[in-house]
Structure 1
Amino acid sequence: MTSQASPASSVSPASSASSASAAAGPLRVGLVGYGLAGSVFHAPLIAATEGLTLDTVVTSNPERQEQARAEFGDGLRFAASPDELWDRADELDLIVVASPNKTHVTIATAALKAGLPVVVDKPLAGTAAEARELAALADERGLLLSVFQNRRWDNDFRTLQKLLAEGELGDVQRFESRFERWRPQLKGGWRESGNPEEIGGLLYDLGSHVVDQALVLFGSAVRVYAESDVRRPGAEADDDTFIAITHESGVRSHLYVSATTAQLGPRFRVLGSAAGYVKYGLDPQEAALREGKRPADEGEWGLEPESLWGRVGSGESPLTGGGRPEPTLPGDYPAYYAAIAAALREGAPNPVTAHEAAAALDVLEAARRSARDGVTVSPA
C-alpha cells in the first residue's frame, strides 16, 4: 500500500518573478546561513545545479566567509544580515533559508514580501499554523515556497518507493524507520537547547525527516503516539524519541530517532503481506558532502557498495541469508535543486510544498503532546 504522491508530484505556484535579466542567465541565489546546513548541504548542491548560481551568502562570521570564498570563488558576495538582501531584491531570484530554526518564519516571510521565491530548510516552522500562514502568503503572492526535505532523495527511500510501486511487498502493514546515532557526548549549540524558542531536539530535527518520509509513502495520519526522553547527562532537549503513526491507509509506522543508540538497528524494516524489505546503513551522500566531495566531481554520485544492499524476502532474517539482495538505487540530493530550477524556469511542480510540511508538523505537534501527556493524539 503506497502513498498519495511521489516527491515531485506536489504543485505550488512557481514564481513568475524571475527577472528579465536573470532569464538570460542562471538564477541568482541568496543563501541565508553558512553553518552546517548552509555549508554542507545547500551551497554545494546549489553550485552543482545547472541554471542556478550562488550569488550571496548571509553570514557575518569572517571564518565562514573565507570558507565560502575558498570554495565558490572571489565573485561570491556576502551580507551581514538578511535585511541587506531585501534592499536589492531585484538582483536575486531565489532565497534559501538555512539559518537556525527559530529564524525560519521571520526570514521566509520577509523574503516573500520582498517578492522572492523561497526554499526553507526543515522544519519550515515551529508549528503547523505558522507553516500554513507562510503557505497562504506564498500562494497570495504567486511565489514558490519549498521545503528542503532532502531525505526524499536518499538511496534507501528511492529504492523502497520502487519496491512499493512494483508491488514487491504486497500490502504494507508496518513501516519501521530508524535514524539512530551513537553520540553520547553533547556537542552544544541551539540544536540541543531546551529553550522552546530554539525549536531544538531530535523530534523536530531528525523527526522532520522520518515523519515526512512516512507521510509521503503511506498517506495522512489519523493517530499518533510518542515517547520522548532526555537521556544524556546535561542534555536539555529530547535525544531519544519514538513515534507511532496510524495512517488513514491502515499502515502503521514506527519511527525512531536517537543520539543514544549504542547498537544501530536497520534503517528500514518494511513488512508487507507478500514480503519484507530490510535495509541497514545510512545514505552515503551526507558523509560525502561533509568530506568535501561534490556531485560534479563524482562520476557516480550517491552509490553504495553491494555489501550494503538491503534484502527482500519472507520467513527468515536477512542476517542469516534470508531473501534476495535488492540493488540500492543511487541517492540523488541534486534532484531537489534541479526541480527547484525547473519550477522557477518552467512552472514545473514544487518538489516539496509548504502544505506537505504543515501536515508533517501536525504529526510532530501531536507527538510532542502525546509524549508529554502519555496519550494517543489525533493530529489537527
Structure 2
Amino acid sequence: MKTHTLSVGLVGYGMAGRTFHAPLIHSAPGLELTAVVSRDAERVHADLPEVAVVDKAARLFARADIDLVVIATPNDTHFPLAKAALNAGKHVVVDKPFTITLSEARLLKAQAEEAERMISVFHNRRWDSDFLTLKGLVKDDTLGRVVALESRFDRFRPNVPDRWREQHGPGAGIWYDLGPHLLDQARELFGMPRAILLDLATVRDAAEVDDDFLALLEYDGLRVSLQASTLAAEPTPRFRVHGTRGSFVKYGLDPQEDRLKAGETPSPQWGEDPVLASLTLAEGADASPVARELRCQPGDYLAYYSGIADHLLHATPVPVDIDEAIEVMTLLETGLDSYRQGRWLKLKEGNGLRKRLHTH
C-alpha cells in the first residue's frame, strides 16, 4: 500500500479541467498535479507554472511517475482515453458522464477489474450544499415518507454558445450534460427506479441539440421529476420535496461552481450557501404546518478527491463506486430509449423504493 503523495496527470484543460479538476486536485491532501495534457501550454502555465504540459495523452500515459489519470475531455473521448490509461496501468477518474453508452461503461469496469486498477466518475454534485442537506433530512426521516421530489437545474442562456456541447455529435446536449447530475442524486436518495420516462426538447432559436428535458422516475409511492432548461429567466426551485410530515424547498444553485470559476480554492466556510432553504413541518397529525428558514450544511467538492486519495493510499471506500456510475449510465441510456420510443421503459435493476440511506 502506498503512503506517499500520488502524482496526477490531467487530460484536458477546458472548462471542466481548468475550473473543477485542477484546483480540487491541487487542494486535496495526498495528491499532486504533475502534468496536464493540452495543446495550449501558455494557458496552462499562466495558471500552473510548476506543472509540466504535454501535447498528447499517450505521452502522459507512458510516464512511469503518473499514478492517477483524470480525464476531463469531450464526452465522446472518455471511453478511448480511459481504456488507454488503464492499459498503461494507471488509476483513472473520468468526468461525468462516464461514457457515451452503457456497453462502454461495462467494458471499462471489466478492464479496470482485470488490471486491478481503480476507475471512478466525478459525480461532484453529491457534495452540493443543498443535496447534502436534503440527504440528511431523508435519512433522519424528518419529512416522513417522501411522496414527491422535484429537482430542477434551470438557466437562462438564450444565446447558444459555440462549443462542442451545443453541436451535433455523440454525448452532446443537455441530457448528457446535466442529466447525470440529477440522475445520480435521485439514485443516491432512493436507489434505482422501476421505470423512466424522458421528454427532450430543443427550444432556443439557434439550438442544434436538446437544451431542455423533463424526466420522470417511477418508484413505489414516490414520484420523482427531474428537469433542466436553458430558457428559465424566473428563478425556479432547485429542490421541492414533499413528505407525510412536511416539505423542503430550496432556491439557488450550490455556490461552489461559481467560486471555482472566480478562481477561489477550497478553504474553511468555502462551501457555505448564503441562500437559506425553507423547511415546513407539521409536529402532529392535526397540527398546522409551520415554516422556518434552514441554513444548508456546507458543500464540499473537495471530499471527492480527498476520498480518491484516501482510497488509493489507505484502502478506504471509493467515493463514487464504479457500479454506482454504471447505474447512472443505465438511467441515461434507458432515458434516451424512452424518448425515442415515446413511452415509459422499465429498468431490470429497479425494484421500487429502497431504503438506501439507512443502509449506508
TM-score by length of 1: 0.87
The 5 A counterparts of 1:5-154 are 23-24=3-4, 26-61=5-40, 65-73=41-49, 75-88=50-63, 90-154=64-128
Aligned residues: CA RMSD: 1.5
Q: Which moved more, 1:361-370 or 1:166-175?
A: 361-370
Retained in 2: the 8 A contact 1:134–1:354?
A: no
Equivalent position to 1:361, from 320, 326, 329: 329
What amino acid does structure 2 have at the position aligned with 1:356?
Answer: E
Q: C-alpha deviations, 1:23-82, integer Å up to 9, x for none?
A: 44x210000000000000000000001111100000012xxx323323323x31011011
> How far apart are 1:376 and its partner, in Å?
0.7
Equivalent position to 1:375, from 338, 343, 353: 343
Retained in 1: the 8 A contact 2:44–2:53?
A: no
Gapped regions of structure 1 (runs ≥ 5): 1-15, 316-320
Retained in 1: the 8 A contact 2:34–2:52?
A: yes
> How far apart are 1:161 and its partner, in Å?
1.0
Retained in 2: the 8 A contact 1:241–1:257?
A: yes
What amino acid does structure 2 have at the position aligned with 1:59?
Answer: S
TM-score by length of 2: 0.92
Paired with 2:55 and 2:31, the residues of 1 have a C-alpha distance of 22
Q: Does 1:237 align with 2:209?
A: yes
> How far apart are 1:133 and its partner, in Å?
1.1
Equivalent position to 1:221, from 188, 193, 215: 193
Q: What secondary structure is seen at the aligned counterpart in 2 of 1:204?
A: helix
Q: How many equivalent pairs are there?
A: 342
**1:289 is matched with which residue?**
260
**1:9 is matched with which residue?**
none
**2:176 is matched with which residue?**
204
Q: 4+ residue stretches of structure 1 with deviation over 4 A?
A: none
Retained in 2: the 8 A contact 1:95–1:117?
A: yes
> How far apart are 1:261 and its partner, in Å?
1.4
Retained in 2: the 8 A contact 1:174–1:253?
A: yes
Identity %: 42
Q: Does 1:170 align with 2:144?
A: yes
**1:11 is matched with which residue?**
none
What amino acid does structure 1 have at the position aligned with 2:228?
Answer: V
**1:5 is matched with which residue?**
none
Retained in 1: the 8 A contact 2:12–2:37?
A: yes
Q: What secondary structure is seen at the aligned counterpart in 2 of 1:99?
A: coil
Q: What secondary structure is seen at the aligned counterpart in 1 of 2:346?
A: coil
Paired with 2:108 and 2:222, the residues of 1 have a C-alpha distance of 30
Equivalent position to 2:311, from 338, 343, 348: 343
> How far apart are 1:322 and its partner, in Å?
5.6
Q: C-alpha deviations, 1:226-272, integer Å up to 9, x for none?
A: 1110111121111010000013x542210001112122310001111
Paired with 1:100 and 1:225, the residues of 2 have a C-alpha distance of 26
